[in-house]
């Protein structure tokens, strides 16, 4: 029995992809992270433990190739989740993401105390919906082991509900459909449609949780 984290999130997403006015997700549901299990009793979904300072130092170690203490635009290509949200990170506007700026952004995510949040990804290829695509959200390694990989397969409309496998979660959280708050690389493959390496094995796609926005679109090109 799979339990969706938030019905409010699902309703919001359908409005987003339908092209109508966006309705803000119910943060009360997301912040509590509550699900009703098969036993009928509610249980709190624990938020993954992330140390913003330690994680930010590891991010610099991994991606600061010139050793200047910050991540330039070129270096951010290896960390597309940060690159996608670089304006949110770049507090001083110098176009270089410092260790302190990474720590500050991660602190904001940690302070939400969200366990899991709904996420549906809409995939198109050359402007057309792509059913049957496999999507993997790979957490940035600097986040540590607490943030788990999420998986999804697009349906007929090209939309995938992302989910962490039960075996990667505590027993009390089995059956919940959602993803951990965090920063990810995104990989897209397909069993019969060729997908360029820049979208999978050498991916340039990234994602970072956006509160109040449970939908994300990926537009692939051949």
**Calpha distance 9→213 (Å, rounded):** 8
Q: Which CATH architecture has domain 3-47+117-220?
A: Sandwich (2.60)
pLDDT at 23: 34
Q: Where are the domains of the chain?
A: 3-47+117-220, 52-111
Q: Find the distance separating the first CA and the last CA of the chain, reported in whole Å.
A: 38
In this predicted structure, what is the pLDDT of residue 35? 37
Per-residue pLDDT of the chain (222 residues; tens, 9 = 90+): 454 444 333 333 333 333 333 333 333 333 334 333 444 444 468 889 999 999 999 999 999 999 999 999 999 999 999 999 999 999 999 999 999 999 999 999 999 999 899 999 999 999 999 999 999 999 999 999 999 999 999 999 999 999 999 999 999 999 999 999 999 999 999 999 999 999 999 999 999 998 888 999 999 998
Angle at 144 between CA 164 and CA 188, to 5 degrees: 45
- The model carries a pTM of 0.81
Query: CATH classification of 52-111, choosing from 1.10.1060.10, 3.10.129.10, 1.10.238.10, 1.10.10.60?
Result: 1.10.238.10
């Amino acid at each position: 029995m799979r339990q969706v984290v938030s019905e409010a999130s699902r309703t919001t997403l359908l409005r987003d992809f339908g092209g109508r006015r966006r309705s803000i997700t119910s943060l009360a549901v997301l912040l509590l992270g509550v699900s009703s299990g098969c036993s009928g009793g509610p249980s709190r979904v624990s938020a993954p433990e992330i140390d913003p300072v330690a994680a930010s130092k590891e991010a610099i170690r991994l991606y600061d190739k010139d050793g200047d203490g910050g991540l330039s635009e070129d270096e951010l290509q290896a960390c597309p989740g940060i690159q996608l949200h670089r304006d949110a990170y770049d507090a001083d506007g110098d176009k270089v993401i410092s260790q302190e700026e990474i720590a500050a952004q991660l602190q904001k995510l940690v302070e939400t105390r969200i366990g899991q949040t709904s996420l549906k990804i809409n995939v198109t290829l050359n402007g057309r919906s792509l059913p049957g695509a496999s999507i993997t959200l790979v957490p940035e390694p600097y986040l540590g082991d607490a943030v788990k990989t999420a998986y999804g397969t697009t349906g007929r409309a090209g939309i995938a509900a992302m989910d962490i496998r039960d075996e990667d979660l505590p027993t009390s959280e089995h059956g919940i459909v959602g993803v951990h708050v965090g920063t990810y690389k995104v990989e897209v493959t397909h069993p019969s449609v060729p997908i360029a390496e820049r979208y999978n094995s050498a991916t340039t796609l990234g994602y970072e949780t956006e509160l109040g926005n449970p939908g994300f679109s990926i537009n692939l090109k051949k």
